[in-house]
Amino acid sequence: MNDFLKSIAALFLICGVMLFWYIDWYWVVILYNILFSYFSLTVYLEYNDDPRFRKKIPLVIYIGLPLVLNFVGFLISIINGFEEIPSEEIMKRKNIGKDDVENVLKHKNVKSPYFKKFN
């Protein structure tokens, strides 16, 4: 079902501009706002599952920016929504070795209580 939604969204992104000739322009803008919010949600969920990144923007704002600002809001969400956590910061916080950090980031499995935060 998720692949089907992504296929429909991609098709609408490519061909949706042609709707300007058939329906009122504001409906097309509203549909694109919803489409970019859906894309923001999929990107948010993908980054949120990755332990190498941390959230900078809450989910409501992450989805709300494209609803209000269309493509510009989508770009703001993607660029400023998450930041990569440097390995040095993880090692400094938890006082662990670099090999342990790389193991967790590669395999996403936690064998130490120090990594509960990144699970």
Tens of pLDDT, residues 39-89: 888 889 888 888 788 888 888 888 888 888 888 888 888 888 888 877 777
For residue 84, what are the β-bridge partners?
Answer: 53
Average pLDDT over residues 23-36: 82
The amino acid sitting at 100 is D
Q: Which two tokens stand for residue 104?
A: 């967790």
* 23 confidence band (pLDDT: 50, 70, 90): confident
Average pLDDT over residues 89-95: 68
Torsion of CA 36, 41, 46, 48, to 10 degrees: 130
Whole-structure pTM value: 0.61
